[in-house]
Amino acid sequence: MKNLAIVFFFLLTYAQAQNRSALDKPNVIIILTDDQGYADVGFNGSTEIPTPGIDRIAKNGVVFTSGYVSYAVCGPSRAGLLTGRYQDKFGFSKNPLLAPKDPLMGLPLSEETMGDVMKKAGYTTAVIGKWHMGAHPTLRPNERGFDEFYGFLSGGHNYFPENLVLQDIEQAKTQYDGYKTKLLRNTERVVETEYLTDAFSREAVDFVQRNHKEPFFMYLAYNAPHAPMQATEKYLSRFPNIKDNKRKTYAAMVSAVDDGVDALLTKLEELGIDENTLVFFLSDNGGPTSANASDNSPLRGFKGDFFEGGIRVPFAMQWKGLVPAGKTYDHPVISLDIFSTAVALAKVTPKNQLDGVNLIPFLTGENSGLPHEELYWRNYSANRFAVRTSDSKLIFEKDKDYLFDIQKDISEKVNLALTESNRVEELKQMIEIWKKSIMDPVFMGLMEDKEYSKLNPDRFNK
């Protein structure tokens, strides 16, 4: 009997380890797509591109119908997400160049990443996919709080493994040579044999399998459906009725991501950890329709804009058992909130002041207020600003003001700036106060590629 009691105690302890309380440092997964259109998920109404895997998150949890990112292009948006802070506060206001010898070309070392903070809380951390926070050795994922990295350093990448012909980033001679490098597993180059999206999904499932007994944080940063438009026949064959080749390829790329999300969610369930794992899904910015045939309807604008089509993205999350299933939440939230939510649940304090909020009390009904009174955006190069309140949205630049009743006019069809000048000035004053908290860019951006190379003629030389 004594031996049976010991065995029972062991099995009970093991079971408890396998099924930690949902409140005891839950796992956190962020699934980020690249350049995905607002309308191109089932939970936002897509019928042309089925996304049953991604839609599982929405069915299990909440859809943020007014979910925003902190910038309208990849690099700054991801910097905001990974730090929980407006990226303009630390000068990450442009898309970084591929400059592997420049220690300032990327996320400043003054900033803690979500990986840094979650590690302090005892989490195992990983980033899989696109980094885009700097290629210098001091700026790479393993130096920025991540135990594991599988992916690439630049702003985009080829999807077919036979196109990855450069052994290392040091062989790059131009900005876009980074698309052709072999992938990195931590600091070592590897030979990948699968379609890139499938490879990232495989690595994500494997990470969860290996680390599910203790708290983990995984940032799964797909580069799909960002250009180049490349898909395998497995996914292309799912869309025989789409005649436009670019749209068909885009749909296939989204479908590949969806398969990966579905496999990941299934793995969580198989391991019995789906109820103590938060899963966030969002795109890094709106779709660039002309580049990848994405669909942002009913929103106005595209990637790069401060119209809704550039900054309002498909955004959903699940925490089964704690966040009500099938919920829709329409108050404005932002990608910065993910960091604040994660560290609150991990019971750890970051060194820098965050700009997001813990979303859980708002979703459970514990807090009936608004997560944000206002949200802000700046495009330094265009001298363009925007602010969103609960009911108004202002975009202003040198020669033009746009004011929208954003609750009633999601498509931003009616510019109220001329008829509601007092409201315009009120919102501009909010921006003027916010501007005091931000700084100029600390590095040159993608649009200054040629100028940067002239100033740094040894940019790609060993």
Phi, psi of 403 (to 5 degrees): -125, 130
> Which residues sit opposite 63 in a β-bridge?
316, 328
Task: State the DSSP H helix or E strand holding residue 83, giving kind and residue range, or none if neither.
Answer: helix 74-83
Task: State the DSSP H helix or E strand holding residue 327, giving kind and residue range, or none if neither.
Answer: strand 327-329
Q: Which of 2, 37, 9, 66 is nearest to 359 (CA)?
A: 66
Cα distances (angstroms) measured from residue 367 to each of 75, 276, 389: 32, 22, 18
Q: Determine the angle formed by the axes of helices 74-83 and 336-346, rounding to 10 degrees.
A: 20
Task: State the DSSP H helix or E strand holding residue 80, giving kind and residue range, or none if neither.
Answer: helix 74-83
What does the alpha-carbon distance between residue 296 and residue 199 come to, in Å, rounded to a whole number? Answer: 27
Q: Is 190 helix (H, G, I), strand (E, B) or coil?
A: strand
Which ranges of 307-348 does DSSP label H, i.e. alpha helix? 308-311, 336-346
Q: Is 246 helix (H, G, I), strand (E, B) or coil?
A: helix
Q: Is 320 helix (H, G, I), strand (E, B) or coil?
A: coil
Active site residue 74: yes
Active site residue 331: no
Q: Which of 149, 197, 150, 155 is nearest to 178 (CA)?
A: 155
CA 61 to chain centre: 18
Query: Which residue in 74, 157, 226, 372 is the catalytic one?
Result: 74
Query: Which residue in 132, 212, 226, 372 is the catalytic one?
Result: 132
Instruction: Provide the pairing of β-strand 375-379 with 384-388.
Output: antiparallel
For residue 256, the one-letter residue type is: A
Active centre residues (catalytic)? 74, 132
